[in-house]
Amino acid sequence: MARRVGSASALCPGRRRPKVWLNRRMTTILTLRPVVPEDLPILFEQQLDPDANYLAAFTAKDPHNREAFLAHWHRIRADETVLVRTIVVEGAVAGSVLSYEDDGHPEVSYWLGRSFWGRGYATRALTEFLAHVNRTRPIFARAATDNAASLRVLEKCGFGVVGTGRGFANARGAEVDEYLLRLPPGPAA
Ligand SMILES: CC(C)(COP(=O)(O)OP(=O)(O)OC[C@H]1O[C@@H](n2cnc3c(N)ncnc32)[C@H](O)[C@@H]1OP(=O)(O)O)[C@@H](O)C(=O)NCCC(=O)NCCS
């Protein structure tokens, strides 16, 4: 997915107050808000994680290249077809979630800092994004066929596999199989 984002280009900051989500125990606050420049050093550090890169597979050629990272984010924040939000958990920048156009079809992608994994935050963030930021349906996603966590997130959000593909994955230096997933029109759309 990340390789497709590389060709995308603009930020559409929402002007409304971010919605506040509470978990089942009503203790953890998760919000989405427009990306601000102060987020970028944190997002940069988060995308350096080697395990995250392996999972995501279709990543930047060199995640350590800070200039390329900043240029990429400059492009996507300036691109009106890209909707991107920072995921904030209890006031901390936890990651990002976005959609971009691929051949005229919207696709979603997301990335969480390692310390935020395994607590349902990606699922909550994507659910919020699909409900309030990009309500286009159908909407698509891609994930390496062995990225079990991402595939589970998409499944929980209602996506289903509609195809497969194979492409060169920078993070693995090899060709990798991926699933194409689709969220159909439905009651929540
Ligand atoms: C993928 C990612 C966003 C998931 O974030 P997260 O906040 O941990 O996700 P959630 O907690 O909402 O849900 C993860 C689900 O996957 C499951 N899961 C995690 N690892 C798994 C594994 N190895 N095998 C099977 N299921 C797994 C979890 O149990 C959970 O499902 P459950 O709620 O039914 O128990 C995060 O790992 C990440 O940022 N990875 C690097 C970037 C990336 O891969 N982005 C997606 C590119 S396609």
pLDDT (mean) for 145-158: 98
The answer, yes or no, to whether residue 37 has pLDDT greater than 70, is yes
Average pLDDT, the chain: 89
Residue 1 pLDDT? 43
164 inside domain? no
pLDDT (mean) for 36-62: 98
Residue 189 pLDDT? 44
What is the distance between the alpha carbons of residues 24 and 141, in angstroms, rounded to a whole number? 27
Q: Which atom of ligand 1 is nearest to the CA of 149?
A: 16
What is the distance between the alpha carbons of residues 160 and 87, in angstroms, rounded to a whole number? 24
Query: How many domains, the chain?
Result: 1
Domain that holds residue 80: 2-137
171 inside domain? no
Higher-pLDDT residue of 25, 178: 178
CATH number of the domain that residue 98 is part of: 3.40.630.30
Q: Which atom of ligand 1 is nearest to the CA of 150?
A: 1
Which of 117, 124, 140, 157 for mutating ligand 1's site (highest number of atoms within 8 Å of CB)?
Answer: 117
Residue 121 pLDDT? 98
148 inside domain? no
Residue 9 pLDDT? 29
Q: Which residue's CA is the closest to the ligand 1 atom numbered 41?
A: 52
112 Cβ contact partners less than 8 Å away, ≥ 6 residues apart: 46, 87, 94, 95, 121, 122, 125
Cα 114 to ligand 1 centre (Å): 11
Q: Which residue's CA is the closest to the ligand 1 atom numbered 47?
A: 56
Cα 42 to ligand 1 centre (Å): 20
Place of tokens 């998409």: 154
Residue 186 pLDDT? 82
8 inside domain? yes
Nearest to 126 by CA among 102, 162, 161, 98: 98
144 inside domain? no
Cα 51 to ligand 1 centre (Å): 12
How confident is the model over 117-131, as pLDDT tens digits? 999 999 999 999 999
31 inside domain? yes
Cα 112 to ligand 1 centre (Å): 9
What is the distance between the alpha carbons of residues 81 and 66, in angstroms, rounded to a whole number? 24
153 inside domain? no
Site residues for ligand 1, CB cut-off 6 Å: 1, 52, 55-56, 109-112, 117-123, 143, 147-150, 152-153
How confident is the model over 81-137, as pLDDT tens digits? 999 999 999 999 999 999 999 989 999 999 999 999 999 999 999 999 999 999 999
179 inside domain? no
Helix axes 121-132, 148-156, angle to 10 degrees: 40
